[in-house]
Structure 1
């Protein structure tokens, strides 16, 4: 498909955290579960990540009686710089490709997001509503952290990720008026 308004979604956001921390939020299963599907009331479960070229990722996305199985394969993995992966809803003909570029921006990170291959304008429209909210949850969690530029100059250790997960959950609850888990 050509790169046109019906099958491509481009977003650019700035985050108050270093690329290593933004990378962790994007790639660690215990953090993905807090932001994935957030704008439509879904909760990600059973998040699996094999973060290497050719490795697979998957999750079960649940909203009440609705369950979606989303999966894909990593094509490019350049830690804290670039991530390219396929994105597929199992049991459907929906296949797309997502690329995420992370660039240092002062003490923060600029994220350039591109999703291509939408089967129609409606699928693009749905994702154009969803991704900005997921990015907003990520951004709100990062803003809630004090001194993030000096606390996490590299990928955070597990003890710090527990706090990040709590911040992501709190940001999601604030943005979407959900009860805390």
Structure 2
């Protein structure tokens, strides 16, 4: 189940996954899982450095299907409530984690330098409701489509992992 809402400055997506809450948490917090689903269809994640603690840094590289374009983001974990709530900032970056101007990454004028992602997880008795809010994203940024494609990949990855357990 998917439900998307775009406000002027946030993308909010709600999904329900047929997997326990702790497994969905691992998908967001363990690099080996995160790399399998993050990004739109066809994109890969060759780098996912995630220092999972409040104040810990993250550095993610998302690569286009043909590998010709790499998009780096960096951020900081600002809130972590295991299996329930994850909040982090996200900014365009270079491969060393230095924040760069969004326009240097090909983003349109007015694109924010720093956004915030909040993930809320709720146990539904073996299933999990996830609400992801990407605050600061312009409504016309395409973020909703990208996130929904990523969450389709997440659902497929969960099926693979969940059937192995």
Interval containing the TM-score (normalised by the shorter chain) = 0.7 to 0.9
Structure 2, unpaired ranges of 5+: 1-5, 94-99, 103-112
Aligned counterpart, 2:107: none
SS at match of 1:51: coil
Aligned counterpart, 2:30: 28
Aligned counterpart, 2:139: 121
Shift of the alpha carbon at 1:142?
2.4
More strand by share: 2
Indicate yes or no: 2:83 matched with 1:89.
Answer: no
Equivalent of 1:71 in 71, 74, 78: 74
Any conservation in 1 of the 2:14–2:129 contact (CA below 8 Å)? Answer: yes
Aligned counterpart, 1:9: 11
Q: How far apart in 2 are the matches of 1:107 and 1:36?
A: 23
Shift of the alpha carbon at 1:67?
1.2
More helix by share: 1
- Deviation digits for residues 123-174 of structure 1 (CA, Å, limit 9, x no counterpart): 2xx110011111111112323433x8xx4xxxxxxxxxxxxxxxxxxxxxxx
Any conservation in 1 of the 2:21–2:126 contact (CA below 8 Å)? Answer: no
Q: How far apart in 1 are the matches of 2:82 and 2:125?
A: 19
Aligned counterpart, 2:157: 141
Change in Cα spacing, 1:14 to 1:32, as seen in structure 2 (3 Å) is same
Structure 1, unpaired ranges of 5+: 152-181
* Residues matched between the structures, number: 141
Any conservation in 1 of the 2:46–2:62 contact (CA below 8 Å)? Answer: yes
**TM-score with structure 2 length normalisation?**
0.78
SS at match of 1:97: strand
Q: Deviating runs (4+, > 4 A) in structure 1?
A: none
Shift of the alpha carbon at 1:16?
1.1
